[in-house]
Structure 1
Amino acid sequence: MQNVKGTYDFFGKEQELRKKVQTVLQEVFELCDFDGMDSTILNELDLLSSKYAGGDEIIKEMYQLTDQGERSLGLRYDLTIPFAKVIALNPGIELPYKRYEMGKVFRDGPVKRGRLREFLQCDVDIVGIDGPEAEAELMQIAAEVFKRLNVPIALRWNNRQFLGEILEAIGVPSAEKLSVMLTLDKIAKIGTDGVIKELADKGLEPQVTTAITELIPLNDPTAEQLADRYGITNSKGSLEVQALQELIYKLGLKQICTFDPFLSRGLSFYTGTVYEIFDASGSFTSSLGGGGRYDVIIGKLVGREDVPYPTVGISFGMESIMEMLKSRPIETKVPIAIVIPIGLRTIPDVLRTAAELRANDIRTGLDTSRRKLKKSLAAAASKGIRYVILIGEDETAEGKVRLKDMKETTEVVLSLEEAVFLIQKNTQ
Structure 2
Amino acid sequence: MQNVKGTYDFWGQEQALRHNIQATLQDVFELYDFEGTNTTILNELELLTSKYAGGDEIIKEMYQLTDQGKRQLGLRYDLTIPFAKLIAMNPGFSLPIKRYEMGKVFRDGPVKRGRLREFQQCDVDVVGIQGPEAEAELMQLAIEAFRRLEIPVTVKWNNRRFLGELLESMGVPSQEMLSVMLTLDKIEKIGPTGIQEELNTKGLSKQVTDAILEFAAKKDWTFVDVCSKYEGLEERPGAVEVRALQALIQSLGLSQACPFDPFLSRGLSFYTGTVYEIFDASLSYGSSLGAGGRYDAIIGQLIGRNDIDYPTVGLSFGMESIMEMLKNRANLVPVASVLVIPIGDTAPEALGIAADLRANGVRTRTDFSKRKLKKSLASASSQGIRYVILIGEDEARAGKVRLKDMNEMTESVVTAEEALYCIEHSL
TM-score normalised by L of structure 2: 0.95
The letter for the 2-side match of 1:176 is: E
Give the Cα separation in 2 of the matches to 1:27 and 1:295. Answer: 27
Q: Counterpart of 2:319? A: 318
The letter for the 2-side match of 1:89 is: M
Give the Cα separation in 2 of the matches to 1:8 and 1:68. Answer: 28
Q: Counterpart of 1:194? A: 194
Q: How does 1:14-413 map to 2 (within 5 A)?
A: 14-228=14-228, 229-343=230-344, 345-413=345-413
Give the Cα separation in 2 of the matches to 1:392 and 1:361. Answer: 25
1:291/1:407 CA distance change after superposition, 3 Å = closer
Look up the SS of the partner of 2:94 in the other structure: coil
Unmatched runs of 5 consecutive residues or more in structure 2: none
Give the Cα separation in 1 of the matches to 2:302 and 2:256. Answer: 38
1:293/1:409 CA distance change after superposition, 3 Å = closer
Look up the SS of the partner of 1:103 in the other structure: strand
The letter for the 2-side match of 1:274 is: V
Conserved? CA contact 1:294–1:311, under 8 Å? yes
Look up the SS of the partner of 1:126 in the other structure: strand
CA deviation after TM superposition for structure 1 residue 24, in Å? 1.6
Conserved? CA contact 2:20–2:334, under 8 Å? no
Look up the SS of the partner of 2:188 in the other structure: helix
TM-score normalised by L of structure 1: 0.95
CA deviation after TM superposition for structure 1 residue 222, in Å? 2.0
Unmatched runs of 5 consecutive residues or more in structure 1: none
Q: How big is the alpha-carbon RMSD for the aligned residues of Structure 1 and Structure 2? A: 1.7
Look up the SS of the partner of 2:110 in the other structure: coil
Comparing 302-311 with 370-379, which one deviates more in the overlay?
Answer: 370-379
Give the Cα separation in 2 of the matches to 1:261 and 1:381. Answer: 52
Look up the SS of the partner of 1:182 in the other structure: helix
CA deviation after TM superposition for structure 1 residue 410, in Å? 4.5
Conserved? CA contact 1:158–1:261, under 8 Å? yes
Comparing 55-64 with 16-25, which one deviates more in the overlay?
Answer: 16-25
Provide the aligned length of Structure 1 versus Structure 2: 426
The letter for the 2-side match of 1:253 is: L
1:372/1:282 CA distance change after superposition, 3 Å = closer
Look up the SS of the partner of 2:104 in the other structure: strand
Conserved? CA contact 1:125–1:314, under 8 Å? yes
Comparing 18-27 with 303-312, which one deviates more in the overlay?
Answer: 18-27
Give the Cα separation in 2 of the matches to 1:65 and 1:400. Answer: 62
CA deviation after TM superposition for structure 1 residue 152, in Å? 1.5
1:232/1:373 CA distance change after superposition, 3 Å = closer
CA deviation after TM superposition for structure 1 residue 156, in Å? 1.2
CA deviation after TM superposition for structure 1 residue 195, in Å? 1.1
Q: Aligned residues: percent identity? A: 68
Give the Cα separation in 1 of the matches to 2:404 and 2:223. Answer: 67
1:330/1:362 CA distance change after superposition, 3 Å = closer
Give the Cα separation in 1 of the matches to 2:382 and 2:221. Answer: 57
CA deviation after TM superposition for structure 1 residue 331, in Å? 4.8
CA deviations 1:299-338 (Å, max 9, x no partner) are 0001111112010111111111111222545454332222
Look up the SS of the partner of 2:134 in the other structure: helix
CA deviations 1:377-420 (Å, max 9, x no partner) are 33333434333222233333344333334445544444322321
Look up the SS of the partner of 2:4 in the other structure: coil
Look up the SS of the partner of 2:33 in the other structure: coil
CA deviations 1:206-256 (Å, max 9, x no partner) are 222222222222342222232232312111011111111111111101011
CA deviation after TM superposition for structure 1 residue 260, in Å? 1.1
Give the Cα separation in 2 of the matches to 1:383 and 1:219. Answer: 48
